[in-house]
Structure 1
Amino acid sequence: MRRAVVVVCALLCVTSCGRGGAADGDSGRLPGAPTGVTAAAGSATSVHVMWNALPAGSGVRAYEVYRGTTKVDEVPGSQHMVEVTRLRPSTVYVFTVRARGGDGSLGPRSRAVRAGTPALVTADRSAPTRPAHPRGRAVGSRAVQLSWGASADDRAVLSYDIYQGDAQIHSVGGNQTATVVTGLRPGTRYVFTVRARDASDNLSPASAAVRLTTPGSGDGRGTAPTGFTAQSHEEAGAYYLDLAWDPPRVDGVVTEYRIQLDGGTTTSLVWGGTPPKGRSTYSFYVGRDHGVVHHVRLRARLPDGTWGGWSAERAVTTGS
């Protein structure tokens, strides 16, 4: 069972059922070593590790991230960035990445990269200044290039976080004032902002928004959860709705859903930790009245920070 943090509603039970089978591609091929691995401190106790995706057809099911010889994280093959936390200030760490194939075999390690965490300044409550004059342009149908003016801080800017809407989707080191954001969707309108962060995790105000549209056809098909079902059950005189769905098949990991009840009230469901890889279920309280008809649907926040399409709407009667 995996925990989920529920915003607006009380914490309720979330379960998932794993789905077997190898990832798409040649599951019998040993994946190669990931390339383009970089590591940069995000704070005095965290480091961002990023790498390039292996080519399509490599049979990659997951990536494993190592600190020295210790495995610190494993993410699905569609994810190419992790934040390694609970590190020590003023310490140099060495990171490598390995790809896992569809049959479970591990490929060779990437080249090792080093990142040093800065000293922790507990008395620092001064945030960096707002990044100035952000600009951007589309570079193909699935990527954009962003740039901005450097922020100032009373000590030092450690990193810049890139947001799409209110979702952080990328991060670079404090010595960078430009980056390329990949994994976007064709024909989609995006709103990017940049925030600067110092070693004490003080965040600057958001920069002015950069509005860009990627070229190509973006009809939104394939972004809605599928196989959505809803039913009611009674427990101790109260009624609950039991939802089940398959996540949309998108390039990245879905960690947040928005549930809409009766066309108005919405609840945010945020996975605490690794989200389910297969079918997911969620139950929530809807009252104590028998025979009430509820209409419910949900949608996912996609890895590029946008909201996907709504699932089919289901009508459920309490006590039915």
Structure 2
Amino acid sequence: SWTDQQADQPSSGRRIYEVEWSLETAEQQPQPQTPSSWRLNTSELSARLVGLRPSTAYSVRVRCLALASDQTVVPSSFSLRASFSTEPEAPGSPPRDLKISRSTLPMSVMLSWLPPLEPNGKITKYTVLYRPVSSNSAKPAGSEHAMPTAETQVVITGLRPSTHYYFRVRAGNSEGFGPDSDAIELSDGAESDGLSSRRWWLLIGGVFGLALLLWPPRGAGRSSADCRAAPTAKPDPAAAKEPAVDRVRPTASSTTSLCRKDAALAGDPRQPARLPVINL
């Protein structure tokens, strides 16, 4: 409402008031094709604005359109702008673009979505609803589960293999929850978008078995007889009289160490074979 000091004067003639209101900030305009300002004409000193969005800031101004005696319209300047905000309401539209993607965890899927076009306030929470259904019909095959979250994505775990699931999500603000999104179906349970626990174990076992087949054993290329320690020779009384430098016999410990060295080299195919060397 507003006042007009010249409205009661006889010479004022007929007076029409033009009311213009617009969004307070450009960020509140959700779609480019939505108009940013609206106008209406009235002959009263008040007007009722309709079509306002919840939890939105507006500014409004008024000017007078005076009708002169010669039927010409003489517009006045606009008044100063007055600002106001509407009260928040529950979201007027559901979340958008609900999608299912692969999860790295077994027996799980990841859901993601976009906020609603009509939040009617600040979105502070989401609830993901999912339940198993019969494979040959859409009849529920179990109780419905609800997972709250504040983000626009969530990982659902604990799904059963080879089971059909329906997922949907709803958004909420300080005034409550809005409508549910369209349901999206997971046709093959957790196995369609992630490896089941059985397949995980089969994969790990196959990799481990392949590693055992390709890994070369220690001491490859030398038989156990070659690396068998030579028995310690009994002392020969005749040989004891000879100089120690004329004859050197390898002991059991030296033979064993040489076999170990050759066995280590034989495990690497890139190393050439070596013969034991005995210094005389």
Instruction: Give TM class, smaller chain.
Output: 0.3 to 0.5
Instruction: Give the number of the structure whose residues are more often strand, by fraction.
Output: 1
Q: TM-score, normalised by structure 2?
A: 0.33
Instruction: Give the number of the structure whose residues are more often helix, by fraction.
Output: 2
